[in-house]
C-alpha cells in the first residue's frame, strides 16, 4: 500500500501547456496570420533585429509585437517607434512565455487585420525552450560575443527552433568565434535548422532572413 502519492508537477504543467498551445496554434491558423516566437539570451540584439525586420516588412504586411519582460517597458517603447502595433506583457517574475500568456497577449493586442505577430520572449536559453507558446515557428538569436559553444550547453533550445540567427557578425574578428563550428553543432542537434549570419546593427546579411519571413507569412494566407 502506498504511503503517499507522488505528483510530477513539471510533467503536468508541460502537458497542460502543450494542450493550450495547440488551441492557440489552431486559432492562429484559423485567423490566417503568422505567429513567430523569438528567443535569445539578454543582449543578443533581439530588439535591434526586430526594428530592422519591422521597418523592412511594414510596407508589405500589417505587424504586431508582444514584448515580454519581467518588469519594464523599454523594449515596447523602442518598438513603438516603428509604428507597429505593440503591447508590453509583464510576466510577474516568470522567466518565459507559456501558451496561456501568449493567448492573453494576443487577446490584448488584437490580431484582426494583422499578417504577422512577433512574440519577443524573455531573454534566456533555458526556460523558453521548454514551453510551447503556440507559435507557428520558433527563432533564436545567438550573438557572436556569446561564443560558439552554446549548442553544446543549451541543446534543447537549438532543438526547438526553426531558424538560428547568428547576430553581431560585424564583431567576429574581435572574438574567438567559429561560425562553421557553431553551425555544425546546431545541425547535429537539429538537422532541419536554418542558420543565417547577420549584423542587425549594420543591416548586413538580412535578406535571407527577410525572404524566409515573407515566405512564411504568405504561406498563411
Q: Examine the pLDDT at 163 and tell me if it is beyond 60.
A: yes
Q: What is the pLDDT of residues 30-80, one digit of tens each?
A: 999 999 999 999 999 999 999 999 999 999 999 999 998 766 677 788 999
Output the pLDDT for position 164: 98
| pLDDT of 7 | 45
What predicted TM-score, i.e. pTM, was given to this entire model? 0.91
Q: Domains in the chain, ordered, with CATH?
A: 15-219 (3.40.50.300)
* Beta carbons of 130 and 77 less than 8 angstroms apart: no
pLDDT tens-digit profile of 118-153?
Answer: 999 999 999 999 999 999 999 999 999 999 999 999
End-to-end CA distance of the chain: 57
pLDDT at site 91: 73
Amino acid at each position: 500500500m502506498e504511503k503517499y502519492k507522488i505528483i510530477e508537477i513539471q510533467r503536468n504543467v508541460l502537458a497542460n501547456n502543450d494542450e493550450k498551445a495547440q488551441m492557440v496554434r489552431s486559432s492562429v491558423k484559423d485567423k490566417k496570420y503568422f505567429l513567430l516566437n523569438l528567443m535569445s539570451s539578454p543582449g543578443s540584439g533581439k530588439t535591434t533585429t526586430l526594428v530592422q525586420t519591422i521597418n523592412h516588412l511594414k510596407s508589405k504586411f500589417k505587424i504586431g509585437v508582444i514584448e515580454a519582460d519581467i518588469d519594464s517597458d523599454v523594449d515596447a517603447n523602442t518598438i513603438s517607434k516603428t509604428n507597429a502595433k505593440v503591447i508590453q506583457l509583464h510576466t510577474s517574475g516568470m522567466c518565459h512565455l507559456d501558451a496561456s500568456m501568449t493567448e492573453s497577449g494576443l487577446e490584448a493586442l488584437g490580431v484582426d487585420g494583422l499578417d504577422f505577430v512577433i512574440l519577443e520572449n524573455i531573454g534566456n536559453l533555458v526556460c523558453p525552450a521548454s514551453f510551447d507558446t503556440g507559435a507557428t515557428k520558433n527563432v533564436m538569436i545567438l550573438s557572436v560575443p556569446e561564443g560558439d559553444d552554446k549548442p553544446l550547453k543549451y541543446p534543447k533550445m537549438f532543438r526547438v527552433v526553426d531558424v538560428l540567427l547568428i547576430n553581431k557578425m560585424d564583431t567576429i574578428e574581435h572574438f574567438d568565434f567559429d561560425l562553421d563550428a557553431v553551425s555544425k553543432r546546431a545541425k547535429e542537434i537539429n538537422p532541419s535548422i536554418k542558420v543565417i549570419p547577420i549584423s542587425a546593427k549594420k543591416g548586413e546579411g538580412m535578406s535571407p532572413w527577410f525572404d524566409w519571413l515573407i515566405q512564411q507569412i504568405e504561406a498563411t494566407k
